[in-house]
Structure 1
Amino acid sequence: MKKETIIYTILCSLMMTSAAVASNDDILDESRDAYRTPKTKKAVSRITKEEFTPTSFEKLRMRAVSRLESEKREEAEELQAQAEKNRLLEEVESKKQAQTAKHEKELEELKERLRLLSLTQDETLAALREQNQKLMEEKKALEDAQNMSEKEQLRIQQEIAEEKAAVAKLTTELATAQQAATQDATAIEKLKTSLASKEKVIKALDLDLDESAKKYAKIKKDYQEANLRAAVLEEDVKLAEQEKVQIQEKLASYEHHVFGDQEKSTASTSNATTSGNRRSIKPISSTK
């Protein structure tokens, strides 16, 4: 209770005490100044800031009643403001809890999707790596086959060169024998037979060389296709690993966003509550 209100109350009590001795009309009567001591009159004049009159006590009483009613209104307004603040705080807390529950649910769903996606990615990567391993083995086998085919072609070409050299030698000998008058027909026939045999061998070697060249071309084509598949497969593995890393980074960013917002919201609510508790209501000034 304010200082002036206390004084008003004391003076009103004095008035009520005086009323027990005399009627209300007597108190307002100038002839009853015996109940109005100089000290009381001086206190009343100081509060009302007016010269003491027969109506000063009534003015003082009315002012005290007005002050009490004003304080009651202030208390009622303060209680109403506090109730409204409590309601708003409860509403904010309820919304915060609902938002937190929603974020936690979304986070759990995202974690589950990431877990399933990680399993799928792991299975995919394992399958791609296994496929890549098989392809590398296939490439190695093709490289070995290609090397063997090259060696086989060189061997056949060398045999053809040797047979052609033998044919050239036999041709020379045949020409020499035909020219020699002393050489008999048997030797000539033998040389012709040997020459025909060599020509057949050369023809067979030519066929083998053609077949070997076809095999080599097929092996080379298969090897090039295997290289292409290996490059594509390696790119698929790299993309799958990059996608998995991106998903993990998104999850980390989402967790930081959710829990960071929750911490900021909690700090903001705490500051608002502290500020509301410290706020004071200004007193209503006295009226004449």
Structure 2
Amino acid sequence: MSNAVRLPPELVYLPLGEEAIPLLKRGFIPLLPATASGLPWLLPPPAQAAQVRISAEDYLSHMHAEYERLPENLRSLISRDDFLRQAESKRADIEAALVAQRKARAEEDIGKPEDWLLQRFFSDPYCPLAWSYGAGFSGIWLGIDPQYWPDTLFRPVSYQLQRAPRLPDSLCCDPPHQAILAEQRLICARESVDKSIQVGQQRQWLLRLPPKALRMVLLGAQIPRRFEQGLLQFWQQDFRYQRIPLAQMRFNNRDLNWEYQLRPLTRAENP
């Protein structure tokens, strides 16, 4: 008879690697800039081989407007055609300024991704594709109950053909073919999170996790022995987490599927 653990359906899961132990010791989870979150549409665009140019019609419309803005006494000294001919030598600079102006207006309309922080959570602990995210099967998943984290908003991802036009709503839109991930995302304005650390070449912001919100920890099927033993030892020693169950991913040959079995803590398992 199987001794599989029944996982609470209301949990959302945060994948972490070996950084989980120092983070939990301090009582935090990491947040990443939206631009470093792994969302494909937020990755930096490839370098452009040539300068972006605007259409000839847009350029002429801008120059006609600039001519009309000249004081009347200057317009009496130079014709519109002469004004355009004199500006032609600076056309590349004028077009570059127009491109920058349009980009600034677009950012003002939709918001800047770099102003937002997010973390990706998953709702289905039996989804192989979701487990491939982050540390994969060599990591762990923190099972968090959102109702015990009342000041934090988890947003379910909307899987649709078009993203929402503005931030932060567009951070919760993905294409329909990714619906199997069943993601929820935690999104915060960068200015609202004041604690951060440098990890290699990347900066992570830290958000305090209430210990009572952590209900379960799932150990991946390929978790390294050293990481596993360090986690078990930490779990025995930290009074905040001692009563929170650890469950090990196992493959059930009978059902040809995964299950999670409760991992008892014993002194013999300490390194």
Higher helix share: 1
The normalised TM-score by structure 1 is 0.20
Q: Which has the higher strand share?
A: 2
